[in-house]
Amino acid sequence: MDVKTSRYHEVYASWRRDPQAFWGEAANAIDWIEKPKTVFDPKAGIYGRWFPDGVCNTCYNAVDRHVEAGRGEQAAIIYDSPVTGTKATITYAALQTKTEILAGILEKDFGVTKGDRVIIYMPMVPEAVVAMLACARIGAVHSVVFGGFAPKELATRIDDCTPKAVLSASCGIEGARVVPYKPMLDEAIGLAKHKPAHCLILQRPQVRAELIAGRDHDWHAKWDDALVWAKNVLTPVPVKATDPLYVLYTSGTTGIPKGVVRDNGGHMVALKWSMKNLYGIEPGEVWWSASDIGWVVGHSYIVYGPLLHGATTILYEGKPVGTPNAGAFWRVIAEHGAVAMFTAPTAFRAIKKEDPQGKLFAQYDLSKFRTLFLAGERADPDTLIWAENLLHRPVIDHWWQTETGWCIAGNPVGLGLLPIKHGSPTVAMPGYDIRVVDEGCKEVPIGTMGSIVVKLPLPPGALPTLWQQDARMKESYLAEFPGCYKTADAGYVDDDGYIYVMGRTDDIINVAGHRLSTGGMEEVLAGHKDVAECAVLGIKDELKGEVPCGFVVLKSGVNRPPADIESECIALIREKIGPVASFRLAIVVNRLPKTRSGKILRGTIKKIADRDPWTMPATIDDPAILDEIGGAMKAKGLMA
């Protein structure tokens, strides 16, 4: 599409001219209890606060107002669980009732009030979404911890946010594997200094949990009791726009966890704006974010974004492959009439690996489907092109972080699609003044690699601080580049203002004085006809400081000698990047270690290769993969 048909440049320029007028107008899409008179106060908080005198309630905006507008019978949530064979549709009216009942249990039975914290440690079931909304309804601060998280990591989060109650379930289901949650929760509470007063446990048919008298309560029993007295509507509690809605701990933390705070007002304004202008979704349409509520994507675009917008959101308890096959995504899109989907690139690499010809795709009717959005890690051009050729629809990469809560750079479908450049998440969204700088915070020339930073203030929806750690917020994000937020990502901007995110700043390796991007090398390897996915990292070298090493996973059905493919990969890097890369080591492996959200654990692989001390990442999907990687490195002489 011609760039001239997009309103993006006009809209972005209007934000640049008057940010307060821009976000003040966007705030009109939210129902306020007390409409803010001040859009932004630069003197409040660490770098300023959005809508500081506004009063609102997020649950009301996500649920009640749609019922009041006469849309109560519209589907709010479609639950699809191939791992249990369960499907259910929850209307906005039913969601309102469920949210009122659980809010009443929290408030009347457990004494949870405005400002109290509640940990949600649950699988991908509708009750988990209801739990988040119920907390928002009474002004409690929820902290969702990925279901099945290790007890030690859960304990650190319990001690950091000191919850009055924990909402959990007897088990989760990971593919074909049932994971009991209650023993891990009990162990975590045993380890923690802070002891939550109440635990509400959803008993699932696959596993029955043992309840501890006095502390633990059966979800269904409490629910049945509440039906007797929960006849009257529990009015949503007014909160300040700057009050916290939730705390979300960043994955992979060690020691004291880093709790990203999200406020109520700015969060609603940003997400509501993004659903129409970025994703091109209309109220009433079916939207699917194939993530987990334990991650920021699940918070923003399974729960809050679509519900604030009055869309229908799909809650999927399954995998891209294996539940039952690599056609699972196409089945869900076709069956429920999804118009757009948001998932991680790793999901599509998994599908491409299992069904490289896309044979399963042909079995489904995706006539309503318009757009595929990818985010969460760098989307290699080869996977993007594969998906485009299969879908014959726009496949759009976009870039954001747990800390920002929504998109930093993307291609705004709702404003008119800009030309897609493979390898780039496109352009900065309104609210983000992106700069590429050197170590001294001086902007580098166009096309030059540097650190990507955002000039303060951050827009609505981004973190105002870390939970009870203002000093750490400043030190972690604001100190290194004065006046800017450090994304910790590296990349460059081209002549058209397109942003290229090449990897984390610690993924820029120094090979004999040459700064090289491992993301660029991964892009080359992903283009090999037999490679399904790959990871490149720098390992210690006495002579050159660091040298790159590539780990490649082959597509299903490839049975050529691994040594041949490794030699071809080395030759490909030499051809596309040059001898300066010193790329002399490629290793074919069966699979790569990943977090449960699908991010490759490059840092852990590097520590193993460098023989540095390392600990098992709390978010790892399958610990056995690290032994496989270690064995592959030993076979190549990398490890003794």
User: Which pLDDT tens digit goes with each residue over 101-153?
Assistant: 999 999 999 999 999 999 999 999 999 999 999 999 999 999 999 888 888 88
Helix (H, G, I), strand (E, B) or coil at 20: helix
Instruction: Tell me the pTM.
Output: 0.86
The pLDDT tens digits of the residues spanning 325-374 come to: 999 999 999 999 999 999 988 889 889 989 999 999 999 999 999 999 99
- Angle CA(378)–CA(380)–CA(382) in degrees, nearest 5? 165
Considering the chain, what percentage of its residues have pLDDT values greater than 70? 96
Instruction: Choose the weakest-confidence range: 25-39, 175-189, 251-265.
Output: 251-265
pLDDT at 330: 98
Q: How far apart are CA 89 and CA 354, in angstroms?
A: 30
- Report the distance separating Cα 51 and Cα 127, nearest Å: 31
Counting runs of H as helices and runs of E as strands, what totals does the chain give? 20, 32
pLDDT of residue 221: 95
**CA geometry: angle 74, 121, 60, nearest 5 deg:** 35
| Residues contacting 245, CB < 8 A, separation 6+ | 58, 136, 141, 142, 262, 263, 264, 267
| Rounded alpha-carbon distances, angstroms, from residue 295 to 124, 401, 496, 501 | 12, 10, 32, 21
| Domains observed in the chain | 3-318+398-491 (3.40.50.12780), 512-635 (3.30.300.30)
**Cβ-Cβ contacts under 8 Å for 412 (sequence gap 6 or more):** 6, 8, 11, 277, 278, 418, 429
Lowest-pLDDT range of 305-314, 391-400, 491-500, 501-510: 501-510
How large is the average pLDDT for residues 152-181? Answer: 93
Grade residue 419 by pLDDT with cuts at 50, 70 and 90: very high
Per-residue model confidence (pLDDT) at position 225: 87
User: Which DSSP category does 75 fall into?
Assistant: E
pLDDT in tens, 531-588: 999 999 888 877 777 888 999 999 999 999 999 999 999 999 888 877 777 888 999 9
